[in-house]
Amino acid sequence: MATRPWSPASYDKQIDKLPVPNHALAARIRGKGFSETKLAAVAGVDVKTVARWVRGESLPQTVNARATADTLGCDPQDLWPDLFPTMRPPGTGTVGVSVYGSRAVVPATVWTELFGGAVEQIDILVYGGTFLFDGVPRYCDMLTAATERGVVIRFIAGDPDSDAVAQRGAEEQIGSSLAARCQMTVARLQFLVGAAGLEIRTHATPLYTSMFRADDTLIANPHLYGAPASDNPAIVIRRGDAPELWREHHLAFERVWNPPVRSKPARNAPPTPWRTRWLEPTTTTTPTRLLRTAWCLPPPPSSPTSTIGSF
């Protein structure tokens, strides 16, 4: 039996049991005097895709959303406010980003669109991150499909035996529960071991911001003291809208992924607490076959990051 190729649109159609019609899009089409066929022709998309958007059965890729909005003389957030809740910068020195009051209110379809539409790179930096598996429909299947499309995935979770995870658990008054979530996340990723382009690591760094990147879109989830990540804001940063802010977050991810190694001072060297010499980053690799004791081994003294799967 022939199977249809995977696509974000077909994936969305599967998970939306009761699609909600996009009345805003339909109204814009009527107001412009267009038909779905004419809109598709001018925006450069398939007419069946436009029909699915109107019926609420799928969400557009960013490039198609902007082309459609330009054709209809509006902004993408006018047509898909959950997907593009961008606020215009009020003045000099500000950047255009989308902000959700808390990560908990980010619609599942936003996460589906983010990861399901990736074509090159997915980067995830968390302590636990169990909400991805619990709240995003068929998240594991989505990652599998991404690797099959050739997407490179880097997933780095918290080391449950690290002081940083223990301290965050204490700050959030959940004790060892956070460490257990870290273990659960790595366990859930075990099925992907062996997939081309996937690498899984653990880290022991104080995590100030969780990050979820797919190609040129990054969702940053800053951590306020004492508050769980789900209660903190989620900031959607697109490289084209805020290139410097996007770059700073990307560099922060790279610092955790490839941590610098602090060199040891010479035996008789005078102390220089304000000056540090950095060497090339190193990581530790465990065997390809994941064992229960190898999921979250404590990192070596020279590096706050351990590699638990590199393929």
Continuous segment of H or E residues that includes residue 183: helix 177-188
Q: What is the pLDDT of residue 84?
A: 73
Continuous segment of H or E residues that includes residue 212: strand 209-214
CB-based burial label for 67 (10 Å; 0-12, 13-18, 19+): middle
Encode the chain (311 residues) as per-residue pLDDT tens digits.
443 343 444 444 344 457 889 999 999 999 989 999 999 999 999 999 999 999 988 888 878 888 899 899 888 888 988 777 655 555 666 777 788 889 998 888 889 989 998 999 999 999 999 999 999 998 988 999 999 999 999 999 999 999 999 999 999 999 999 999 999 998 998 888 888 889 999 999 999 999 999 999 999 999 999 898 899 999 999 898 889 999 999 999 999 999 876 655 555 555 544 333 333 333 333 333 333 333 344 444 545 555 655 44
Neighbours of 289 (CB within 10 A): 9
Torsion angles phi and psi, residue 114, rounded to 5: -60, -55
Residue with tokens 């006018």: 78
CB-based burial label for 234 (10 Å; 0-12, 13-18, 19+): buried
Q: Which tokens belong to 77?
A: 């957030």
* Angle at CA of residue 150, ends 1 and 293, nearest 5°: 100
Q: What is the pLDDT of residue 205?
A: 93
CA 43 to centroid of chain Cα atoms: 28
Nearest to 48 by CA among 75, 82, 10: 10
Q: What is the pLDDT of residue 281?
A: 36
Q: What is the pLDDT of residue 310?
A: 47
CA 278 to centroid of chain Cα atoms: 29
Q: What is the pLDDT of residue 260?
A: 77
How many angstroms separate the CA atoms of 203 and 201, rounded? Answer: 7
